[in-house]
Structure 1
């Protein structure tokens, strides 16, 4: 997951833009929604707020996926939607959002969309990923595609996990502390964290407690990092990325985390 404390962008401009959008829609036929590769696709038209929801939608079998918030925007609620974003929402069958993006419902309302608004549990824990992909596929009617994705995901997850266990220093499980939303990366490595922190800032008491456990590694959340988490502890800090890139390939997130972990374990 990502930050739970957010600043809500003003929605006044959205309402004004929606009026222009509805006027434009009445003047001609609306263009069909497009997938991220610019090609039309069969199946439901899905609009997502970020690439993370987009990756879940793609894994579930959706081909026509439009992402509203660019990946360069660190916190989605800070983004001000454009008229083209509203046009995409107006033509969608589904709009996917996360609980920490509460303006998503207002976007749908402002655009006059009849799309089904779906809250997504953004968590890269593999069990939760499988469950969420299956649930979304049930909504989309793409069960076969989702089943095929899960098989490929399971194969790659097992492969990456095996490589990480083989990289354990001296063949022993490393001692790690994780941010609450990066515990999935420790699980990928077959490691049980000795402690967690966040999403709030680490308190002096937590700092003393976690440092006393003598972790070798701190798995920090790259999207919520506040700098060195356990200074003077000697622990190596590894930045874990939760969001996929514009390819909307969720498996690449696991490959990226595995690469960072292997590099740290090897050092």
Structure 2
């Protein structure tokens, strides 16, 4: 449930408002429709919509939405390819101050700024940003319990399991010659290899790939390289014959986490079947 913040109104302001009300009533005029501002986490009709969540990126925002949060504000614009490079504006920090929960990742350099801006009202939540299916389920469940939206989180997980199972089945049916492809994956893209049922023969990142690593990875003779679109360092194995594709971790403006899995499945399937 969203926290309700209590504001202390000066006594003279209350007295002045009372005088105006009495004057309007004494003159026999009908008072206009009065609407007080809805409390944090409530819509215009005063209906509780759950907690107010501020997420540093659409990735955290998607986890919050999957967990049942309806009022979610994302700080880093979608146009920023590498989110940790973003420099928060004063207005971003002001938005944090109005939140019930602030979601961030430890690798984001601006996390400390958000902690300071949140003050004592908002609860700071470090999110495990990993699209591995098991970890995603666990994180959505945890956030749902934190937000008090367990039922919505459980419903999302049910739909996720159905969609994930369908994507895995379709990808397996698309395996070249009926055999699982061998892949090298950037560490933050390894979840897409699991989705495809691929055999991971090596990983790299997040640090730059060394000459020794290149030699070792090339020796595994992978069919695919699953790169991280948000941290790409260019072609990883240029002379190996492996087909490199970019995997996107961050959802779009709709904060639909399922779309990330669907897009990854489409990307990998095309790569597997490319001539």
TM-score (norm 1): 0.83
Corresponding residue number in structure 2 for 1:12: none
Superposition map of 1:195-234 within 5 A? 195-234=202-241
TM-score (norm 2): 0.81
Structure (1 or 2) with the larger CA radius of gyration: 2
> How big is the shift at 1:198?
1.0
Identify the match of residue 171 of structure 1 among 178, 189, 208: 178
SS at match of 1:195: strand
Check 1:226–1:33 CA distance in 2 against 1; reply closer, same or farther (3 A cut).
farther
Contact 1:32 1:91 in 2 (8 A): no
Identify the match of residue 99 of structure 2 among 92, 99, 104: 92
> What is the total number of aligned residue pairs between the two structures?
239
**Distance of 1:67 and 1:34 partners within structure 2:** 16
Corresponding residue number in structure 1 for 2:71: 64
Superposition map of 1:28-177 within 5 A? 42-110=49-117, 112=119, 114-177=121-184
Corresponding residue number in structure 2 for 1:13: none
Question: Over residues 77-127 of structure 1, what are the superposed CA-to-partner deviations in whole Å (9 max), with x where a residue is unaligned?
Answer: 332323432332111110000001243243242354510000000000000
Contact 1:34 1:66 in 2 (8 A): no
**Distance of 2:39 and 2:242 partners within structure 1:** 52
Contact 1:105 1:117 in 2 (8 A): no
SS at match of 1:136: helix
Question: Over residues 119-171 of structure 1, what are the superposed CA-to-partner deviations in whole Å (9 max), with x where a residue is unaligned?
Answer: 00000000000001111111000000000000000000000011100000010
Question: Over residues 232-263 of structure 1, what are the superposed CA-to-partner deviations in whole Å (9 max), with x where a residue is unaligned?
Answer: 10000011001101110000000000010111
SS at match of 1:194: strand
> How big is the shift at 1:224?
0.7
Corresponding residue number in structure 1 for 2:260: 253
**Distance of 1:157 and 1:191 partners within structure 2:** 15
> How big is the shift at 1:223?
0.6
Higher relative contact order (CA 8 A, sep 6+): 1
> How big is the shift at 1:72?
1.2
Structure 1: gaps of 5 or more residues: 1-25
Structure 2: gaps of 5 or more residues: 1-8, 11-35
**Distance of 1:30 and 1:200 partners within structure 2:** 49
Corresponding residue number in structure 2 for 1:242: 249
Question: Over residues 159-206 of structure 1, what are the superposed CA-to-partner deviations in whole Å (9 max), with x where a residue is unaligned?
Answer: 001110000001011111111111100000111201111111111111
> How big is the shift at 1:41?
6.3
SS at match of 1:219: strand
RMSD: 2.4
